[in-house]
């Protein structure tokens, strides 16, 4: 007498669909949390960059006794400092992280910074973050 028992060597189509659905649900959940983490990281980077730009403007004001005409001047104008031990360093007031095609500074959300050369205020043009 022959034994016609089924041997379970693979997954059925239903089991495969269930596993695929579980994987897609987990991927969707991960994508939501990854996007939230990315937004939080961009917010922190924007705050840090604004502080750095504002400090560079204050440093420019102290050294040159006037505010820069635009933010490009902070990037291009040479800053020479001499330390007490005689070491001379060359650089700029600010190092650009992201620059647009027109040469303007971009924030982490890829929007331009707005700068008022009369008051020295710099802001991001990113919606919801213009008052930072």
Predicted confidence pLDDT, tens digits, the chain (132 residues): 566 666 667 778 899 999 999 999 999 999 999 999 999 999 999 999 999 999 999 999 998 899 999 998 888 888 877 788 877 777 888 888 898 898 889 999 999 999 999 999 999 999 888 887
Specify if 3 maps to a domain.
Answer: no
Q: Bridge partners of 82?
A: 88
pLDDT, residue 50, reads: 93
User: Is the residue at 6 inside a domain?
Assistant: no
Residue 73 three-state SS: helix
Cross-strand pairs, 105: 99
What whole-number distance in Å separates Cα of residue 41 and Cα of residue 118? 31
* pTM score: 0.74
Domain assignment present for 9: no
Q: Specify the number of domains making up the chain.
A: 1
Kindly report the CA angle at 132 between 59 and 130, in degrees rounded to 5?
A: 115
Q: Domain of 109?
A: 14-124
Residue at 47 is within a domain? yes
- Could you tell me if residue 129 is inside a domain? no
pLDDT of residue 12: 87
Position 80 scores a pLDDT of 79
130 within some domain: no
């Amino acid at each position: 007498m022959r034994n016609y028992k089924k041997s379970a060597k693979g997954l059925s189509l239903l089991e495969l669909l269930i596993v695929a659905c579980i994987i897609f649900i987990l991927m969707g959940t991960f994508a939501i949390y990854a996007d939230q983490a990315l937004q939080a990281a961009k917010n922190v980077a924007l705050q840090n960059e604004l502080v750095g730009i504002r400090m560079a403007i204050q440093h420019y004001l102290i050294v040159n006794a006037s505010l820069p005409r635009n933010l490009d001047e902070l990037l291009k104008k040479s800053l020479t400092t001499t330390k007490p031990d005689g070491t001379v360093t060359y650089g700029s007031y600010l190092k650009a992280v992201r620059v647009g095609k027109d040469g303007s500074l971009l924030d982490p959300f890829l929007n331009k910074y707005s700068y008022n050369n009369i008051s020295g205020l710099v802001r991001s043009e990113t919606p919801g973050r213009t008052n930072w």
